[in-house]
Structure 1
Amino acid sequence: MILVTGATGTVGREVLRRLSPDLRVRAMARQPDRLAQESGTAETVRGDYDDPESLALALDGVDSVFLVTSRVGRDDDARFLRIARSAGVRHVVKLSAAAVEDGDADDLITRWQRENEDLLRGSGMEWTLLRPRSFMSNALSWASSIRSDGVVRALYGESANSCVDPRDIAEAAVRTLTAPGHAGRAYALTGPRALTAAEQTAQLAELLGRPLRFEELDPAQARAQWSARYPEPLVEALLSSAERQRRGAKAGVGGSVEELTGRPAGSFRAWAGDHLAAFARP
């Protein structure tokens, strides 16, 4: 039995779509009713990281797990891994982040990811780490301003990021969950080339067939924008991450997507083309 956590999330739902219907799969979410269109033949179960009893039920009879946690600073990984080990889970594939390999990254989010990786490596279970660069789907945060004003606003718009298609992350997860030889390995997942926000804006404009304008945010504007959504420690972490990107820390391209999937990583243009409706005017 394979358990997919975060099954309603950006990557988790794509993992569910790619797992063979011949496999025994269980999809976990805090609100399993949201899984109706995503789960396919998978069993659905309620699981809440704050509810150990729900985790024990979700993990009953499970051999392998795709683990996604997102509440920065919380001990969700520690609680889940303790229960998973007690339940007899053999292998955990964890969604981590590429920044953990950057010695200059010491922000709250990266420290939390490193701690979670350490917990998994010390859990006594087999482990595989997936370390993606930023998701191409982060561009969806521009959709509203593109539709209404034809504008993309971002910090350090000329800094490059080798962002990755979430569908490639999901396919990598499926391969590491279902094929042997991936225990004890970590994979950095990137797109085929590094792009700036200004370049992404230009590609979206070409696909939409209308002009788009890129507007550079300064750090104070970015801070104000993020402060409306996140607590201060997370805002500081995001600003630190953006500064590392400005210095070129996120521009490296790797071959792990092709190694795992047998094909080149998908491009931003291809991802945007498949999601163009989100950016198009009604």
Structure 2
Amino acid sequence: MITVFGATGTTGAPLVDTLLAKGATVRTVTSDPSKLDALKAKGCDAVAADFTDPAVLARACDGAEKIYLVTPAHLDMRQWKANVIKAAKAAGVRHVVVATGLGASPKAGLTFGKWHSETQELLKQSGLDWTFVQPTYFMQNLLWQAYNIAKDAVYYDDLGGPVAWIDARDIADVAAEALTAPGYEGKVLV
């Protein structure tokens, strides 16, 4: 079984669909209990979980061979991911595919890059098999600028230069491959 944390998010939702299409048994984890019925209707086991509740995280990891881990961008995301890694290790999960970001490094220029690096190092030290999916900026994030583009015909870029955008569905396809095919353990997929 594969447990997908962030199953209703930008990469998690298409990942769930891709895994189900591949015939995988999927447990989905969302922080929004109102989405459980829709996830169950797809044929998934579904759990509502708070990233700070060890008992619920343990239940979400129980019986899983692999997990996909992504959290919302949040000040507590490092601790949330650490909590899941701890629960995964205790549950006997073998392989964790974690979505971080391009340029994750202790020397990253962006705070999120440093935070993602901390999670990567924690996962490496856990003894679990790991794969890091490091996408660039999601094309779906352009929708955040829709109002400004419509109002001012301007796209405000705070990224500091040219950026290669990627569709979140492509990120989900990469994660699905890492979760269902052998040979991705210990790999960084940029």
TM-score (norm 1): 0.61
* Preserved contact between residue 101 and residue 136 of structure 2 (Cα < 8 Å): yes
Matches within 5 A, 1:112-123: 112-123=115-126
**Any idea what SS the aligned residue of 1:8 has?**
coil
Secondary structure of residue in 2 paired with 1:99: coil
1:69-100 Cα deviation digits (max 9, x unpaired) = 23235411211111110101000000011021
Structure 1 partner of 2:162 = 160
**CA distance, structure 1, for counterparts of residue 156 and residue 188 of structure 2:** 31
Contact kept? 1:28, 1:46, Cα under 8 Å: yes
Aligned to 1:10: 10
Give the secondary structure class of the aligned counterpart of 1:75: helix
Kindly provide the amino acid, as one letter, of the partner of residue 48 in structure 1: D
Q: How does 1:68-83 map to 2 (within 5 A)?
A: 68-69=70-71, 70-73=73-76, 74-83=78-87
TM-score normalised by the chain length of structure 2: 0.89
State the AA in 2 paired with 1:64. K
Letter in 2 for 1:88: G
Q: Which has the larger radius of gyration?
A: 1
- Looking at structure 2, the residues matched to 184 and 55 of structure 1 have their Cα atoms a distance apart, in angstroms, of 24
Where in structure 2 are there 5+ consecutive unaligned residues? none
2:19 paired residue number: 19
**C-alpha contact (below 8 Å) 1:8/1:35 kept by paired residues:** no
**Aligned runs of 1:40-119 on 2, under 5 Å?**
40-69=42-71, 70-73=73-76, 74-100=78-104, 103=107, 105-119=108-122
CA distance in 2, matches of 1:174, 1:96: 15
Return structure 1 stretches of 4+ with deviation > 6 angstroms.
none
Structure ranking higher on relative contact order (CA contacts 8 Å, 6+ apart): 2
Task: Please say if residues 135 and 171 of structure 2, whose CA atoms lie closer than 8 Å, have aligned partners that are also in contact.
Answer: yes
Deviation (angstroms), 1:135:
0.7
How many angstroms does 1:133 deviate by? 0.7
- When residues 125 and 156 of structure 1 are mapped into structure 2, their CA distance, relative to the original with a 3 A threshold, is closer
1:241 aligns to what?
Answer: none
**Following TM superposition, by how much is the alpha carbon of 1:64 offset from its aligned partner in structure 2, in angstroms?**
0.4
Contact map agreement 1:14 1:170 (CA 8 A) in 2? yes
Q: 1:153 Cα shift?
A: 3.5
In the alignment, the residues of structure 2 paired with residue 183 and residue 91 of structure 1 have an alpha-carbon distance, to the nearest angstrom, of 7
Say whether 1:179 aligns with 2:181. Answer: yes
Q: Structure 1: 5+ residue runs without aligned partners? A: 189-282
The alignment partner of 2:103 has SS state of helix
Contact persistence 2:39–2:46 (CA under 8 A): no
* Percentage of pairs with the same residue: 35
**In structure 2, the residue corresponding to 1:78 is in which secondary structure?**
helix
Aligned residue-pair number: 186
**Residues 131 and 186 of structure 1 are in contact (CA less than 8 Å); yes or no, is this contact kept in structure 2?**
yes
CA separation of 1:154 and 1:35: change in aligned 2, threshold 3 A = farther
Looking at structure 2, the residues matched to 154 and 106 of structure 1 have their Cα atoms a distance apart, in angstroms, of 20
Alpha-carbon distance in structure 2 between the residues aligned to 1:100 and 1:157: 15
